[in-house]
Structure 1
Amino acid sequence: GGVALVIDGKALGHVLEQGMHHAIVRLGSVCSSVVCCRSTPVQKQQVVKTMKEALPIRTLAIGDGANDVAMIQEAHVGFGVMGNEGMQAVMSSDFVIGQFRFLKRALLLHGRWNYLRTGL
């Protein structure tokens, strides 16, 4: 089991406004995942961009509404979830799932199959 970082928009705003991007990178780099909640679209995008630029990692963003589009487009891989918030996230994503619960199968099963197929 890994450690996850969960940060809300208010705390994230303070970190980003103070130019403490390095703090998010250092903390996020020891976590298996980073979850930003109650954040603005710009904050979400900044977190993904900061992690991409600072670390040799691949980023994945998951969203279900128009407020997630910038984050999805910034990430290496974007998942759009079909839902009640419109089709903007779905239209701007690399992959589409019907519900959040389908993400596990998409990543663990289909992701592995794709890796095996392209790696041979």
Structure 2
Amino acid sequence: ANSKQSPSEHQRDGGVALVINGDSLGFALDQRLERLFLEIATMCMAVICCRVTPLQKAQVVDLVKRNKKAVTLSIGDGANDVSMIKTAHIGVGISG
């Protein structure tokens, strides 16, 4: 993809992903930036949040739940996923 394309042009290509770590996500979830973060994230084919806290997982789900007309689904396999699972419209806990 051409680096001079706008995000919406990249979106049409279907080739954009966002990878964000917990430290950066903390800034993105600030009240002043969260809508911009959500707008950028929803332009992407995939969003990967890595090294995030249990609270941040729940905050990402809540951000989508509050601002998009979408049903949220969270799937987790550990105690660190409980907040995220409980925040979603549909929560699935996997044992194992």
Give the TM-score normalised by the residue count of structure 1.
0.59
Using the TM superposition, give the Cα deviation of residue 64 of structure 1 relative to its aligned residue in structure 2, in angstroms: 1.1
Using the TM superposition, give the Cα deviation of residue 59 of structure 1 relative to its aligned residue in structure 2, in angstroms: 1.2
Amino acid at match of 2:83: A
Question: Partner of 2:61 in structure 1?
Answer: 48
Using the TM superposition, give the Cα deviation of residue 6 of structure 1 relative to its aligned residue in structure 2, in angstroms: 2.6
Q: Which runs of 5+ in 1 are unaligned?
A: 84-120
Identical pairs, percent: 51
Q: Secondary structure at the match of 1:17?
A: coil
Using the TM superposition, give the Cα deviation of residue 3 of structure 1 relative to its aligned residue in structure 2, in angstroms: 4.3
**CA distance 1:43–1:21, change in 2 (3 Å):** same
User: 1:34 & 1:45 partners in 2: Cα distance?
Assistant: 15
Question: Partner of 2:24 in structure 1?
Answer: 11
Q: What pairs with 1:10-89 in structure 2 (closer than 5 Å)?
A: 10-17=23-30, 19-83=32-96
| Two-structure CA RMSD over aligned residues (Å) | 1.9
User: 2:18 & 2:73 partners in 1: Cα distance?
Assistant: 15
Q: Secondary structure at the match of 1:34?
A: strand
Using the TM superposition, give the Cα deviation of residue 8 of structure 1 relative to its aligned residue in structure 2, in angstroms: 1.3
More helix by share: 1
Amino acid at match of 1:11: S
Larger RCO, structures 1/2 (Cα 8 Å, 6+ apart): 2
Give the TM-score normalised by the residue count of structure 2.
0.72
Q: Which runs of 5+ in 2 are unaligned?
A: 1-13
